[in-house]
Structure 1
């Protein structure tokens, strides 16, 4: 086993690897960019060294800088995590050439998977089922049309070199093929530098099921079971679970055997994932092999009881696999979702900024949290906006789903917007509950699970008001006890004022709405006027994140947190967060001039500005482009008019809501 390894990654995966290494007594070396100087993986590692600027190409993609740190610190091996250099054959070779161990497969195995066409041909030659199609190098348009007609429709055109959903088109009729081919080739050329495509039969209502494989350098290859990842949006996985609710024991055995065959076909060593597309009839076909540890590996760990990072380290050190195939035991059901800083209501626009509050469920035998940030940390504009992975386990799928609902209800993120409410709606949707979602469902029916802006009803406002009153009263008592006159009548937190019996005005902000509530009473017993209704609250108590009260003769219970700035409520199905506003303030409604400026929707870098001061523009015209969170955002004119001022230049980094362009009023 190794004494010291370098982790060439960041975020939750770096923290995950550090935990295993600490348990095994292995010292860890972290590397970090300028943006990550105070990141959690830097704080948790035994040593940490800077390697460059905040952009990945200036730091985490600099293999030379990473190798220099490894040599200087005496590291024996480098763990690439996932993303960045984890699937770079060139980096794997450079690590080995430097006399170090790359904790992953050999470069030759990666290269065999580098081309989708070549990989498909290789798998077919080794008896692994592949989707009918055409993978030839001859890219003559007429030939491709004939091959498409031979394969049949619906058909998918895919870039031969690429991924992430780019360079893909679905064609449903022969007459649509030529235009779709041209579009796909153009996108592939722009994204990957090569316009070669392959054709394959498009599987309707497909499922995405992958198998975790492991192989050692002594010729032993096994699989650790499957993960179903069919809940996807634009080819990005949202829910991962094991075992699949779709597979029969016989189909599971056949797919596991095919996964092992696929790994052996490329002489694979270490951890990898063989991905299959599965039709509604149960037929399955090879898609690709991810030559690294996957983001969703914790679900496999929870159902097998194994530490896959430990297995990676042992195999990389030359040891045999710890267990043979017949010794792998699966128990229960595990599910994973990822908490992201993103706004589902704005097309899942990635977010960034300081985490003012981060409440997550307590980890135990049923709940696991893999995260790379804590309260007070910043979600950077330069990297993936994942905040944490939430993984649950229980004896069967219905109970695991219930655990996931409870865990999400216990989660709250204050700062950048998050996808928690979207996930809560998704895991309650019948296609998920019944285990029948396919990979294309969400792209067709996304509106069914998107959060909808609904003003809080009177009962919710009464509960929120009660939580705030109990917080205020407790804060007043605490302050009085610490004062020089703890028995002063001014320390009685009942809201009493001359002229009325304890009337209090509480104001809340919900989206752009200001809501006023009038409350009478104290000590958990109140009369509340909210939303035009008078409601009586009795015997209210709050503590340990829970609020109980009697409302209208019925006992209600909520998850609840209140402080001087906001109140959070969750009734078991729906979450509500309200800002606490001053009871008396001037109208702060935005002035009518909001249409006279273009602001940054989030922190990022200005890529280019297309207009100059004095130019005439039309409504919706693109004025510039900014880059944030690995994506480009178009900056458009809010109305027609004349450009008054350009306040940024290409290359500038800007904060959210910074004014970029002004129009003449």
Structure 2
């Protein structure tokens, strides 16, 4: 076994790898960028090496700096995590040329699976079923359009070097093909430096089911399947294992296909073979097809660990150190059911816009395993994926596990940034999902119901006001005396709407609140505050912001009555950057007439492109930014003439 390894990554996956490695007595070296000087993974490591600027290209994608850090610290091997350099065969070869061990598959295996078209051809030869489609080299638009006609609409255009839903477009009719192709290629060029695409049949009721495989370079086993069908824009939201409705016949067929895929390329380490499944007539062994193989550890690997009792990172270290497979196929069994929900800093009502901010509060309940790369006090950076944590639960049955997930999401507390907690909670309670009737279109069909903001009740407003005025503590600590008036007024705002509250304090253990037409009594009973007949939820205060941890977190602003700002309606004249990022393109010109919804600019942030649209019809008065500019949140990019 290794004495010391370097983790060439950041965030929750770096922390996850360290937890297992350090428990095995293996010392860990972290690498970090300018933005991650105080990050959790740096604090956890035995040693840490600075490798460059905040941008990934200046740090986590610098293979030379990472290898030099490993050599300088005496690390014997490099674990890539996922993302960044984890599936870069040139990096693998450079690691090995430096006399170090790459904890993962060979460069040859990564290359064979790195391009979707070549991988599909290889899988066909290995006897793995493949989705009907065009995977050839001819990238002429007319040829691709003809291929789509031959396959039959609807079709998917997919970047051959793609992943994470980038460079992927659904096309439902021939008239839309050309524009979708241009869009997919542009996004693929930005994300991967390769704008080649493939075209394949779109499955009407698709389920995304993947098989966890593990090989030692010669032989492989599968650790059963995961269902990742709950997706938004081709990005996974909640994953589970095993797949609901799975039959033993189909599990065996998919598992064998996954093993054939791994052994066909001499796979070593942890990998995932992803399949698209036609669930229009239940799960049938003749209706699943290979999509791609991820030659690394997956984000959702914890659900497999939960149902098998296997630590996949431990397996990675042991096999990379030269040991044989720790278990054979007949030794592996499924125990119960597991779910993983991806908790992000994102503004769901605003189209899942990635968010930044400093975490003023972060706490997870006992019911879950929370894999996180951040702590209270940490900042969600605009430079990287805005994941806060993976909330993982396990239970003896699917129903029990899902109920546990629902409860864990309700009890998770995040302050300082908007999150998708309420959205995840709505999914966990969705009737179709609860019954196991899932497919990749579920979220899209029910999106309006799933993204509704929870509305605060009067008791939530009272809890926020109590904490802001210090009325949770004894009266003398809150600034009240026997000679002071025991009446106060406060105003709190939620979602841009302000409400006045008045309180009459009748003693240290009783308060009468007036919230609009509602009268709320707060009483302390046996040391616990009861507000409006229910226990007072946990509350966090940071400056003028108060977060009430009920209904997935309700954030209020406490307004000083001596410094109230009447505010104004949103300025539709100015198109602003919603977050820090790179202006990728500007389509507006001075004097140009635009319609509401016209795309005026593209902002690249959080590894995604965001279109900035005109809020109304008008004429462009001024263009205030140019392509290539780095801008801060709130920066004015385009101004329209006054109406």
Distance 1:141 1:69, change over 3 A: closer
Aligned to 2:438: 437
Aligned to 2:102: 102
Corresponding residue to 1:358 among 356, 362, 366: 362
Corresponding residue to 1:602 among 559, 562, 579: 579
Aligned to 1:526: 511
1:408 maps to 2:409: yes
CA contact (8 A) 2:307 2:336 kept: yes
Q: 1:116-195, aligned counterparts within 5 Å?
A: 116-137=116-137, 148=148, 151-172=151-172, 176=175, 179=178, 183=182, 186-187=185-186, 190-191=189-190
Aligned to 1:378: 379
Q: 1:323-362, aligned counterparts within 5 Å?
A: 323-362=327-366
Aligned to 2:556: 578
Aligned to 2:12: 12
1:393 maps to 2:397: no
Shift of 1:641: 6.1
Corresponding residue to 1:657 among 630, 634, 639: 634
CA contact (8 A) 1:371 1:388 kept: yes
Aligned to 1:631: 608
Distance 1:7 1:189, change over 3 A: closer
Q: Matches of 2:629 and 2:546 in 1, distance apart?
A: 37
1:507 maps to 2:507: no
CA contact (8 A) 2:345 2:388 kept: yes
1:223 maps to 2:222: yes
Distance 1:437 1:185, change over 3 A: closer
Q: Matches of 1:186 and 1:251 in 2, distance apart?
A: 35
Instruction: After superposing the two structures, state which structure 1 stretch, 418-427 or 471-480, moved more.
Output: 471-480
CA contact (8 A) 1:343 1:419 kept: yes
CA contact (8 A) 1:351 1:416 kept: yes
Shift of 1:235: 0.5
CA RMSD of aligned residues (A): 3.2
CA contact (8 A) 1:332 1:396 kept: yes
- 1:277-308 deviation per Cα after TM superposition (whole angstroms, max 9, x unaligned): 11113221111110000111111111122211
3-state SS, counterpart of residue 562 of structure 2: coil
CA contact (8 A) 2:583 2:626 kept: yes
Distance 1:660 1:67, change over 3 A: same
CA contact (8 A) 2:141 2:178 kept: no
CA contact (8 A) 1:303 1:393 kept: yes
1:301 maps to 2:305: yes
3-state SS, counterpart of residue 13 of structure 2: helix
Aligned pairs, number: 632
Q: Which runs of 5+ in 1 are unaligned?
A: 481-489
Distance 1:566 1:170, change over 3 A: closer
TM-score by length of 1: 0.86
Distance 1:153 1:625, change over 3 A: closer
Q: Matches of 1:158 and 1:110 in 2, distance apart?
A: 19
3-state SS, counterpart of residue 474 of structure 1: coil
TM-score by length of 2: 0.89
Distance 1:91 1:119, change over 3 A: same
Aligned to 1:452: 453
Q: Matches of 1:85 and 1:599 in 2, distance apart?
A: 33
Q: Matches of 1:623 and 1:147 in 2, distance apart?
A: 33
Shift of 1:461: 4.1
Q: Which runs of 5+ in 2 are unaligned?
A: none
1:201 maps to 2:178: no
Shift of 1:636: 5.5
Q: Matches of 1:458 and 1:194 in 2, distance apart?
A: 54
Q: Matches of 1:380 and 1:185 in 2, distance apart?
A: 27
- 1:142-196 deviation per Cα after TM superposition (whole angstroms, max 9, x unaligned): 76666555544444343434333344444556x5586478547754774556565
Larger Rg: 1
Distance 1:478 1:663, change over 3 A: same
Distance 1:208 1:542, change over 3 A: farther
Aligned to 2:567: 590
3-state SS, counterpart of residue 292 of structure 2: strand
